[in-house]
């Protein structure tokens, strides 16, 4: 497993946020958001190490244990978390990494975080959203699912940490009535969404699924009119679309065109 330079930055309340950097400091920066984490087992499903190995050839990478409650970073926000806090703390990490501007690569939840950063800060230089539709985002569905897990019997949260569930729920709740189309239309940096054409959010605790691919299809023409690049990964679902052999070439080409 590749290793980077380890760093710690303190959030406003004194919480230590742990992150790593990889690659040449002089190269354009990319923040690998949630779904990619600093602390990860060698065989984790995100294939983080492989993504780092490939992308660090062209870019300086930032990989964090974030949101709080992940890996070495403690003191999770839980239900108090919000998109505004995500924007503040991701910007804090980028500052500590010496990246005034940075590309964002996020998958699934990390894709949703990236859209919020693009709408709430001027820090992003390019945005790659995987496994999450930037329009027709299933915010209410995610709130429904996460609320059921958070308040349900212990058996419902066996596969997911409750602190992670509560933090994600806190993030999604303010977005239920967010002016999505108005805000997303304001994003004017290079932008890509990539998704398996069979994506129904496999991996959510049963019996829930989320029609991610269908939601993206319904917004595809609108997104293309807003200059989004859209890459469909034929035959792939939520679990397989993040595999490096499937989507890394698409993402790598996008960032090379956008940042190099």
> Which pLDDT score is estimated for 131?
97
- Counting the structural domains of the chain, the total is 1
> Which pLDDT score is estimated for 205?
58
Give per-residue pLDDT as tens, 114-157. 999 999 999 999 999 999 999 999 999 999 999 998 887 655 54
Mean pLDDT of the residues in the chain = 93
Give per-residue pLDDT as tens, 205-237. 557 889 999 999 999 999 999 999 999 999 999
Buried b / exposed e along 148-160 (16+ C-beta atoms within 10 A): ebbeeeeebbeeb
**In contact, 45 and 239? CB cutoff 8 Å:** yes
> Which pLDDT score is estimated for 149?
87
pTM value is: 0.95
Give per-residue pLDDT as tens, 70-86. 999 999 999 999 999 99
> Which pLDDT score is estimated for 204?
62
Could you tell me which residues come within 8 angstroms of residue 241 by beta carbon, excluding any fewer than 6 positions away? 130, 131, 194, 195, 196, 199, 233, 247
Could you tell me which residues come within 8 angstroms of residue 244 by beta carbon, excluding any fewer than 6 positions away? 47, 50, 51, 54
- How far is it, in rounded angstroms, from Cα 72 to Cα 87? 20
Give per-residue pLDDT as tens, 165-208. 999 999 999 999 999 999 999 999 999 999 999 999 876 655 78
Domain that residue 53 falls in: 5-259
DSSP 172-233: HGGGTT--HHHHHTT--S-EEEEEETT-S-BTBSTT----HHHHHHHHHHHHHHTT-EEEEE
CATH number, position 225: 3.40.50.1820
Q: How far is CA 259 from CA 12, 30, 104, in A?
A: 31, 9, 11
């Amino acid at each position: 497993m590749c290793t980077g330079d380890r760093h710690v930055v303190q959030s406003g309340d004194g919480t230590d946020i742990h992150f790593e950097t990889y690659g040449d400091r002089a190269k354009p920066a990319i923040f690998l958001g949630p779904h990619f984490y600093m602390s990860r087992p060698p065989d984790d499903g995100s294939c983080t190490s492989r993504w780092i190995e490939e992308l660090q050839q062209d870019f300086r990478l930032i990989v964090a244990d974030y949101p709080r409650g992940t890996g070495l970073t403690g003191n999770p926000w839980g239900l108090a978390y919000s998109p505004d806090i995500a924007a503040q703390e991701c910007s804090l990490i980028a500052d500590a990494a010496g990246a005034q501007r940075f590309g964002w690569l996020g998958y699934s939840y990390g894709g949703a975080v990236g859209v919020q950063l693009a709408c709430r800060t001027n820090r992003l230089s390019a945005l790659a959203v995987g496994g999450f539709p930037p329009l027709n985002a299933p915010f209410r569905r995610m709130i429904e699912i996460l609320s059921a897990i958070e308040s349900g019997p212990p058996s419902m949260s066996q596969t997911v940490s409750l602190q992670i569930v509560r933090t994600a729920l806190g993030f999604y709740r303010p977005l239920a009535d967010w002016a999505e189309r108005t805000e997303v239309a304001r994003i004017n940096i290079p932008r890509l969404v990539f998704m398996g054409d069979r994506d129904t959010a496999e991996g959510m605790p049963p019996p829930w699924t989320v029609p991610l691919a269908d939601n993206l299809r319904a917004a595809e023409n609108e997104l293309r009119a807003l200059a989004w690049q859209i890459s469909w990964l034929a035959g792939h679902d939520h679990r397989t679309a993040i595999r490096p052999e499937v989507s890394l070439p698409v993402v790598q080409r996008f960032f090379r065109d956008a940042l190099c």
